[in-house]
Amino acid sequence: MSASYFSDANLLRAKEILARYPRPKSAILPLAHLAQDQDGWLSCEAMMEISRLVGVTPAEVQGTTSFYTMFKREPCGRLLVSVCTNVSCLVTGGPEVLDHLRSRYASDADVTVEEVECLAACGGAPSMQVNYEYHERLTPESAESLVEEYRAGRRTPRTISGSKAAG
């Protein structure tokens, strides 16, 4: 039998997660988050392992996880920059932030820029998240310098699923 997809520490976490729920299938979402914490995306290997742990077919795991936009089905950059353009951000400059970051990082494999729906940060519109850390009241320039701070290591990013980086 092949070795587990999850690291030893994460396999322990996976078992803890499974024990929380009356039915194992409920663990699919949290286990998919755990896989992304580990690898930065949700690979086929991860889904196979989740299917074994949960006791359903791989197709069921893919069927569920592919419904949810937070699960990345191919590797993305180390930094995932999610810019809101829903209405409160739309009328306060969100699209300008998005356009600027998109062109700035168009050919930068380290940074993936995505347009997202309302982040529940409209009081500080326009807003974005970098690996699910909030940043508000942005201008195109301030947004870029924030991303640069992460790149330069002056800010520690969370994982691609938003957990504190494993210590």
Partner 1 sequence: MTAPPITETRVITARIHERPDDSWTIGAALTTGAYDTLRQVLATGDASAVQEQVKLSGLRGRGGAGFPAAQKWSFLPAGSYPRYLVVNGDEGEPSTFKDRMLVERDPHQLVEGIAISSYAIGCNKAFVYLRGEFALGYERLTQAIADARGQGFLGDNVLSSGFDLDIVVHRGAGAYICGEETALLESLEGERGMPRIRPPFPAIAGLYAKPTVVNNVETISTVPHIMRMGGEAYAKLGVNRSTGTRLFSVSGHVNRPGNYEVELGVTFRQLIDDLCGGVREGRGIKFFIPGGASSQWLTGSDEHLDAPLDMDYVQQTFGVMLGSGAVMVFDETTDPLLVAWRLCKFFAHESCGKCTPCREGTGWIEMVLYRMLHGQGRPEDLDLLLDVGDNICPGLNAPFSQTTICPLGPSAVSPVVSLHKLFRDEVLAACGAGSRAGVTG
Interface positions with partner 1 (CB under 8 A): 20-30, 32-33, 54, 56, 63-65, 67-71, 82, 85-88, 90-92, 117-125, 129, 131-134, 158, 161-164
The CB-of-28 to partner 1 minimum distance in angstroms stands at: 4
Q: How far is the CB of 5 from partner 1 (least distance, A)?
A: 18
Nearer to partner 1, 10 or 88 (CB): 88
The pairing of strands 79-84 and 128-130 is antiparallel
Query: Which residue number, 12 or 91, has a Cβ lying nearer to partner 1?
Result: 91
Q: State how far the Cα of 46 lies from the Cα of 163, in Å rounded to an integer.
A: 18
* Shortest spacing between CB 32 and partner 1, in angstroms: 7
The nearer residue to partner 1, 31 or 147, going by C-beta atoms, is 31
Please give the single-letter amino acid code of residue 88: S
Q: What is the DSSP letter of 9?
A: H
Lookup result for tokens 């949810």? 68
- Quote the least distance from Cβ 163 to partner 1, whole Å: 7
Decide: 157 and 131 in contact? Cβ < 8 Å.
Answer: yes
Q: Is 134 helix (H, G, I), strand (E, B) or coil?
A: strand
Q: Closer to partner 1 at the Cβ: 71 or 107?
A: 71
CB of 86 to partner 1, least distance (A): 5
Q: How many residues make up the chain in this entry?
A: 167
Q: Which is nearer to partner 1, 67 or 145 (CB)?
A: 67
Question: CB 120: neighbour CB atoms within 10 A?
Answer: 9
CA 4 to chain centre: 23
